[in-house]
Amino acid sequence: MHEAICRQAERTPDAVALRGGGRDRSYRDLLDEAAALAGRLRAEGVGPGSVVALCTERSPEMVVAVLGVLLAGAAYLPLDPSHPRARLDLMLTTADAALALTDEEGRVALGTGGAPAVPVRPLAGADLPALPVDWRGYRAPEEVVDGLSYVIFTSGSTGAPKGVQMTHLSLANRLSWMQEEYRIGPGDVVLQKTPYTFDVSVWELLWAFLAGATLVTAEAQAHRDPQEMAAVIAREAVTTVHFVPSMLALFVEEPGVAACAALRRVICSGEALPPKLVNKLTATLTTVRVDNLYGPTEAAIDVTAWPCRRPEPDPTVPIGRPITNVVAYVLDDDGALAPLGVPGELVVGGDCLARGYAGRPDLTAERFGTVHVAGRPQRVYRTGDLAWWSPQGYLNYGGRIDTQVKIRGQRVELGEIESVLNSHPLVTNSVVLLRDDLGAAPTLVAYVVTERHADAGDVSEAALRAFLAEQLPDHMVPLRHVVLPELPATANGKVDRRALPAPPARVRRPVRVGSPSA
């Protein structure tokens, strides 16, 4: 893809490629900066087969760094500076990163509590030795074409995150399909708002540059604020944007949505999409096209797509049909093709699959396997999702088979949270649930059984949250904790999750006017 971006820059060198941080970068500027960074990386021995970590907040410099790593022939590994140091070190080691590029927040994150796990270099602005890299006429070496484009970590049920190793072939197929389907070009503006540790960010980062369009970077934490999202979409005349459905639900309630007159494409993925959101948005912005996409991180961002109808009439929005060069099968419990309308596990294959998980051949063998369809073997990924085919030939989503859930659009294995909780010296067992009966949004609740001698203060809700926050990102830390004498069990001895009680309501003390607490 970075070779194709170089070709586009040669065609439109003076067009605005990247806007953010108070300045516009032309395609020429963008590729000059990326090539300079690639030269610095080459001088440090980075090349085909290398992995370079990025630990930074969202910024135009982050976008330049992604292109620079790719031009150096390496794969990029995005890291969130807000994550605990132990988790960042684990990712660096598992992915076998050669070095890390950081801004100030990233440098502090990787250096807190001791020396960084890998050499740390500044993201931009350093006058360091470099080997020449010319983006004009650039052709990717064969070992790069056959190699990795990025490594993105997802939550793991064993207590350790999993590093998905994505190939250039799968990424190229995904972005080529996207351009064929949506046809953006000069005059289009794509908003980069998804955290770059989430695979949706990959198309946000690269797609615009393949088509001569402009990429606008939102401020570092702006994606959490629907009012700010409406403002930047209107101000920058954004034509193309992605929303996780839970954020779309907040966005459509903003008064500023009506001012987003340039918006033409809204891509949704990450969670089940309610039809009422589609219908409310398209009633407000009558020229907007909404598409519902589906795909696991292990299969190049998205593997199926559904162009939403106006209005979208069904109780749930389908996830659609496989994209170009991708196949999807629904298998029953015996591994045979399930009949139409019968739910089964969704497995996907074709030019979309990751190479596997970094440093985990056992897990790769477990999740990536072979199926025989029409007598032919085919490599596939077992998604762990339930789906069924409609008679009209499109897929419907039926939820998770296991305990994997989506929180703020990010995939989380509840087993990882439980594993960390169980490592607490005073916790003997735990179960984590995502409950949707406690308020407006689904809430993570942890149920813990503690040592009998445990002091209440040591296993209080605040204490357990603080313990988890040292090892897990914020979205994986349960908001509520319930201490139980034992976990309820079914007749066969398994934990009876349905019998776990709702956490008690929090008592709010009345505040007297004029009192010190008022």
Give the pLDDT confidence score for residue 345 in this predicted structure: 94
Nearest CA to 246 among 101, 1, 436?
436
CATH number at residue 257: 3.40.50.12780
Q: Which residue has the tokens 């313990």?
A: 467
What are the start-end ranges of the H helices in 45-160? 60-71, 85-94, 104-111, 142-145
Domain check: are 325 and 384 in the same one?
yes
Quote the pTM value: 0.84
Q: DSSP 3-state helix, strand, coil percentages of the chain (rounded to 5)?
A: 30, 25, 40
Taking the C-alpha atoms of residue 52 and residue 73, their distance in angstroms, rounded to an integer, is 10
Domain check: are 51 and 123 in the same one?
yes
Please report, in tens digits, the pLDDT of each residue of the chain (518 residues total): 999 999 999 999 999 999 998 999 999 999 999 999 999 999 999 999 999 999 999 999 999 999 999 999 999 999 999 999 999 999 999 999 999 999 999 999 998 777 888 999 999 876 777 788 899 999 988 888 889 999 999 876 666 789 999 999 999 999 999 999 999 999 999 999 999 999 999 999 999 999 999 999 998 877 778 889 999 999 999 999 999 888 888 888 889 999 999 999 999 998 888 888 899 999 999 999 999 999 999 999 999 999 999 999 877 899 999 999 999 999 998 889 999 999 999 999 999 999 999 999 999 999 999 998 878 899 999 999 989 999 999 999 988 787 678 787 777 878 789 888 988 989 888 889 998 888 767 889 999 988 888 898 899 999 999 999 999 999 999 999 999 988 887 644 467 888 999 888 765 555 555 544 43
Taking the C-alpha atoms of residue 353 and residue 380, their distance in angstroms, rounded to an integer, is 7
Domain check: are 357 and 234 in the same one?
yes
Is residue 92 a part of any domain in this protein? yes
Residue ending a domain, among 402, 429, 450, is 402
For the chain, how far is it from start to end, CA to CA, in angstroms?
Answer: 59
Domain check: are 418 and 358 in the same one?
no
Q: Which residue has the tokens 């809700």?
A: 461
Domain check: are 108 and 180 in the same one?
yes
User: What is the domain range of residue 260?
Assistant: 225-402
Question: Is 76 buried (19+), middle (13-18) or exposed (0-12) by CB count in 10 A?
Answer: buried
**Residue 505 tokens, joined:** 């309501």
CATH number at residue 409: 3.30.300.30
Domain check: are 205 and 291 in the same one?
no
Domain check: are 286 and 361 in the same one?
yes
Q: Which residue has the tokens 């000069």?
A: 186
Is residue 326 a part of any domain in this protein? yes
Domain check: are 176 and 105 in the same one?
yes
Is residue 36 a part of any domain in this protein? yes
Number of domains in the chain: 3
Domain check: are 135 and 151 in the same one?
yes
**Cα–Cα distance list, 450 to 430, 458, 489 (Å):** 9, 10, 17
Residue ending a domain, among 369, 384, 402, is 402
Structure letter (DSSP) for residue 311: S
Residues 6+ apart with CB under 8 A from 411: 154, 155, 296, 297, 404, 405
Is residue 68 a part of any domain in this protein? yes
417 three-class SS? helix
Is residue 7 a part of any domain in this protein? yes
Residue ending a domain, among 157, 177, 212, is 212
Give the pLDDT confidence score for residue 136 in this predicted structure: 94
Domain check: are 393 and 460 in the same one?
no
Domain check: are 163 and 279 in the same one?
no
Is residue 508 a part of any domain in this protein? no
Is residue 346 a part of any domain in this protein? yes
Domain check: are 157 and 62 in the same one?
yes
Orientation of helix 200-210 relative to helix 168-182, angle to 10°:
60
Could you give the dihedral angle defined by the CA atoms of residues 84, 86, 91 and 97, in that order, rounded to the nearest 10 degrees? 110
The torsion angles phi and psi of 310, rounded to 5 degrees, stand at -125, 100
Print the SS3 string covering 195-262: CCCCCHHHHHHHHHHHCCCEEEECCCCHHHCHHHHHHHHHHCCCCEEEECHHHHHHHCCCHHHHHCCC
Give the pLDDT confidence score for residue 235 in this predicted structure: 96
Taking the C-alpha atoms of residue 39 and residue 69, their distance in angstroms, rounded to an integer, is 10
Is residue 218 a part of any domain in this protein? no
